[in-house]
Amino acid sequence: MRFRLTDDQRALRDGTRQLLVRRFGGEALRGAVESPGRLDRALWRALGEAGFFALRLPEAEGGVGLGLPEAVLVFEEAGRVLLPGPLAATHLAAGVVPGAATGEAVVSAVDGGLVEWLAQADVVRGDAAGAVPMRSLDPLTPLHRVPGGAAADPAPVAVLLTAAEQLGTAARVCELAAQHARAREQFGRPVGAFQAVAHLCAGMLVRSETARAAVYAAAVTGDPVDIAAARLLADEAAVRGARDCLQVHGGMGFTWESEVHLHLKRAWVRTQRAGGVTQSEEALAAALTAGTA
Amino acid sequence: MDLSDTPEEEEFRARLREWLAKTLPGLPPKPSPDDWPGRRAYDLGWQRRLYDAGYADVHWDASPATRLIFLEETEKAGAPYVGANFVGLLHAGPTIAAEGTEEQRERWLPPILRGEEVWCQGFSEPDAGSDLAALRTRAWRDGDDYVVTGSKIWTSHAEVADWCELLVRTDPEAPRHRGITWLAMPMDAPGITVRPLRTLAGSAEFAEVFLDEVRVPAVNRVGDENDGWRVTLVTLSFERGTAFAGEVVACRRVLGELAVEARENGRWDDPALRRRLGRLNAEFRALWRLTQWNVSAAQASGSVPGAAGSVFKLRYSHARQELYDAAAEVLGADCLDLDRPWTLDRLSSLSYTIAAGTSQIQHSIIAERILGLPKGR
């Protein structure tokens, strides 16, 4: 057993992080919030060139030929920076929908009763007939509601990639909270010196590190029950982490200018994806009685 | 990232499994939890079997991954836990191995491995719980001896222990972490009084130890005088790291038993209960993965899990309490029956968020050492 990142995996993660900081840093994020509903096609192609969508496609088919662990690492990075767009749907369409692998095509998919980025998508997988736009809670994720779109059994890979994005959010909001707690002074000392604040931050780290172990392990085994577990832990780490991060930021955290609300809103959007929490809990309960727990 | 066994690990696992299958059926029945002499004999007997089979030192010499396999397989097979040997095997032994002189290692380590001597831990004091460095038990030098006066509390196995790993204050003037010394105290020395303490679970799980001018030979000092704090940290990080790994496997087994019970008594039809158990399944799976993650990191760096051990200890101790709360929901009114094993387990799980550093202490360690937040009060 060597349950840690290989040098190649570390390099992939660091390279992805650098690419995203360059192409989707704080200013780009602000710009995207100011022009909602617009997807940066040049960035999408750049992601395609970097192999983001074709990562798991065999080399013989023009892909990168890597596996789920590598996909999880790059999706975690996407989650960290709040990268917008139907990332998982396009990734899953690589090799199936022409142009998806290279980032020439933006591919979305009907998921439960929702479709993300319908208006910007070149291809929508599933039946989106009669889709009605919503005023989306997340300024970076346009949403349509699809009538009668009952939730089918989600693909385990879609569940796992969502969990990986949640993990990215969980880790990022923990960093943001700790940074703020070290810098912001009240009553003559950094707020992080107050136990009530320090313990909130520590709780965020505990949840994100537990989720990390679960998400990475699920990527290695590919087992649907491991993936369901990873999803529950990652959802919890992202949503509670973003809320606690907002709390640590105090009044500043409740403003539009702070990026904290964007993390919370995106984390909430992801909890509705790929079968949601209920389905994962039921899958894990069923595994207990099937003797495969 | 790789979760599969290396060829050596695979071989070790197979050999251990075979030995357990052969050995466990011949074990004597387990003594009752209150029968301390019986528990001592039982736990030492198990350690002797491990010794004879070549597994006695798995906690010391083996790679962390091998140790994890040992904990996983013994727990899965329902083998005895370390029990009365806990302090000797997981605390005092590793400390002496790392910090002791050649003579000290020869004197104390073989009897621990062979299951001949039991150790207890004299760290906590009535006025210094999680604030270990506030300890006040004094020791001063008199000829070839230290003379020790003070008291210790929450000392597990004290009644049946041969040795005590004792922290004493040798320099009251020094900063509080600097004036502490680590001594091996023989429990039959004159001046020692052991008074058992009854826990809220009803059992005499641990004791208070009173020390009245107890003479401990100076050759029993491990590490330098006034350097006991550093010596101690070596073992504490271990306790928060992998010491509970076997218990995670046990909790996963209990969860499976809860599902069976719930199906039999009909409560499984309640979706809220079902989902609660499903969530706990995710929790304990994740805790097992976190253990593997920490162990792999420790293996790579050649060290023990430091502050990362606090992440595990904190999350595990709360998960364990949630597990037995869920058990109570499955049992219904039977959860009030002390003859149901889960009732006693629920009571004893209350100690997990207190022992080995409270959850609040763990939060502070994580905030300061991992997140780099300023020291607080």
CB contact under 8 A, B370 and A217: no
Q: What pLDDT sits at residue B63? A: 79
Sort A30 into a burial class: Cβ within 10 Å, 0-12 / 13-18 / 19+: exposed
With contact defined as beta carbons under 8 Å apart, do A219 and A227 qualify? no
Show the tokens assigned to A186: 């009240």
Sort B332 into a burial class: Cβ within 10 Å, 0-12 / 13-18 / 19+: exposed
Q: pLDDT (tens digit, 9 = 90+) per residue, A160-184?
A: 999 999 999 999 999 999 999 999 9
Q: pLDDT (tens digit, 9 = 90+) per residue, B227-265?
A: 999 888 876 665 555 677 888 999 999 999 999 999 999
β partners of residue A123: A107
* Alpha helices per DSSP H over B83-225: 86-87, 93-99, 102-113
Within 114-133 of A, beta carbons closer than 8 Å to B belong to none
Q: Can you tell me the distance from the alpha carbon of B68 to that of B295, in angstroms, rounded to the nearest whole number?
A: 8
**Among the options B10, B239, B247, B264, which is catalytic?**
B239
What mean pLDDT is reported for chain A? 94
The nearest alpha carbon in chain A to B69 belongs to A1
Q: What pLDDT sits at residue B33? A: 76
Q: Can you tell me the distance from the alpha carbon of B331 to that of B267, in angstroms, rounded to the nearest whole number?
A: 9
State the CB neighbour count (10 A cutoff) for residue B151.
18
Nearest to A164 by CA among A8, A16, A2: A16
Instruction: Say whether pLDDT at A292 is over 90.
Output: no
Residue A184 contacts B, CB cutoff 8 Å:
no
Residue B339 contacts A, CB cutoff 8 Å:
no
Report which DSSP code applies to A151: P
**Residue that is written with structure tokens 């990268």 in the block:** A83
Q: What pLDDT sits at residue B245? A: 83
Of B255-259, B285-289, B298-302, B362-366, least confident by mean pLDDT is: B298-302
The nearest alpha carbon in chain A to B369 belongs to A202
Helix (H), strand (E) at residue B39: helix B36-53
Q: pLDDT (tens digit, 9 = 90+) per residue, A263-275?
A: 999 999 999 999 8
Nearest CA distance, A284 vs chain B (angstrom): 4
pLDDT band at A291 (very low <50, low <70, confident <90, very high): low
Q: What is the mean pLDDT of residues B285-298?
A: 92
Residue B195 contacts A, CB cutoff 8 Å:
no
Q: pLDDT (tens digit, 9 = 90+) per residue, B294-326?
A: 988 888 877 666 678 899 999 999 999 999 999
Cα-flanking dihedrals φ and ψ of residue A97, to 5°? -105, 125
Q: Can you tell me the distance from the alpha carbon of A139 to that of A36, in angstroms, rounded to the nearest whole number?
A: 6
CB contact under 8 A, B282 and A229: yes
Show the tokens assigned to B136: 């006040």
Q: What pLDDT sits at residue A149? A: 61
CB contact under 8 A, A282 and B274: yes
Which of A3, A195, A202 lies at the smallest CB-CB distance from B1? A3
Task: Tell me whether residue B239 is one of the annotated catalytic residues.
Answer: yes
Nearest CA distance, A182 vs chain B (angstrom): 6
Q: What is the mean pLDDT of residues B91-111?
A: 93
Which of B3, B275, B377 lies at the smallest CB-CB distance from A221? B3
A5 CB neighbours in chain B (<8 A) are 1
Nearest CA distance, B250 vs chain A (angstrom): 12
Q: Can you tell me the distance from the alpha carbon of A199 to that of A264, in angstroms, rounded to the nearest whole number?
A: 20
Residue B65 contacts A, CB cutoff 8 Å:
yes
With contact defined as beta carbons under 8 Å apart, do A237 and A166 qualify? yes
What is the gyration radius of the CA atoms in chain A, in angstroms? Answer: 19
CA B203-B208-B213 angle, to 5 degrees, is 155
Q: What is the mean pLDDT of residues A56-83?
A: 96
State the CB neighbour count (10 A cutoff) for residue A35.
9
A214 CB neighbours in chain B (<8 A) are 282, 285-286, 289-290
Nearest to B206 by CA among B4, B363, B5, B33: B33
Report which DSSP code applies to B337: -
With contact defined as beta carbons under 8 Å apart, do A173 and A145 qualify? no
Cα B129 to chain centroid, rounded = 17
Within 73-92 of A, beta carbons closer than 8 Å to B belong to none
DSSP SS3 for B194: strand
CB contact under 8 A, A221 and B289: no
With contact defined as beta carbons under 8 Å apart, do B186 and B140 qualify? no
With contact defined as beta carbons under 8 Å apart, do A167 and A79 qualify? yes
Q: What pLDDT sits at residue B64? A: 81
State the CB neighbour count (10 A cutoff) for residue A259.
18
Q: Can you tell me the distance from the alpha carbon of B136 to that of B11, in angstroms, rounded to the nearest whole number?
A: 49
Q: What is the ipTM of this complex?
A: 0.93
Report which DSSP code applies to A122: S
Q: What is the mean pLDDT of residues B266-285?
A: 97
pLDDT band at B108 (very low <50, low <70, confident <90, very high): very high
B292 CB neighbours in chain A (<8 A) are 1, 3, 213, 217
* Alpha helices per DSSP H over chain A: 7-23, 26-34, 41-49, 68-80, 87-93, 156-183, 195-221, 224-248, 260-271, 276-289
Mutation for testing the A interface, residue in B275, B371, B375, B377 having most A CBs under 10 Å: B371
Q: Can you tell me the distance from the alpha carbon of A209 to that of B10, in angstroms, rounded to the nearest whole number?
A: 28
Which of B279, B315, B363 lies at the smallest CB-CB distance from A199? B363
Residue A206 contacts B, CB cutoff 8 Å:
yes
With contact defined as beta carbons under 8 Å apart, do B124 and B155 qualify? yes
Nearest CA distance, B185 vs chain A (angstrom): 37
- Termini Cα distance of chain B: 40
Instruction: Say whether pLDDT at B107 is over 60.
Output: yes
Cα B344 to chain centroid, rounded = 19
Show the tokens assigned to A123: 């291809």
Instruction: Say whether pLDDT at A186 is over 90.
Output: yes
With contact defined as beta carbons under 8 Å apart, do A293 and B290 qualify? no
Q: Which residue has the higher pLDDT, B91 or A101?
A: A101
Count Cβ neighbours within 10 Å for each residue of B95-128 and write b for 16 or more, e otherwise: bbbebbeeebbeebbebbbebebbbbbbbbbeeb
pLDDT band at B58 (very low <50, low <70, confident <90, very high): confident
Q: What pLDDT sits at residue A180? A: 97
Cα-flanking dihedrals φ and ψ of residue B288, to 5°? -65, -40
Helix (H), strand (E) at residue B15: helix B7-23
Nearest CA distance, B370 vs chain A (angstrom): 9
Helix (H), strand (E) at residue A109: strand A107-111
With contact defined as beta carbons under 8 Å apart, do B58 and B89 qualify? no
Q: What pLDDT sits at residue B96? A: 93
User: What residues contact A188, with CB distance under 8 A and at least 6 apart?
Assistant: none
Instruction: Please state, for a pLDDT cut of 70, what percent of chain B lies above it.
Output: 96
B252 CB neighbours in chain A (<8 A) are 293
CB contact under 8 A, A229 and B5: no
Mutation for testing the A interface, residue in B4, B373, B375 having most A CBs under 10 Å: B373
**For residue B113, which amino acid is it?**
L
Residue B60 contacts A, CB cutoff 8 Å:
no
Q: What interhelical angle do B271-301 and A195-221 show, nearest 10? A: 90
pLDDT band at A106 (very low <50, low <70, confident <90, very high): very high
Residue B68 contacts A, CB cutoff 8 Å:
yes
What mean pLDDT is reported for chain B? 91
Q: What pLDDT sits at residue B264? A: 94
DSSP SS3 for A19: helix
Nearest to A140 by CA among A28, A233, A22: A28
DSSP SS3 for B2: strand
Which of A219, A229, A282 lies at the smallest CB-CB distance from B275? A282
Q: pLDDT (tens digit, 9 = 90+) per residue, A140-163?
A: 999 999 987 666 678 999 999 999
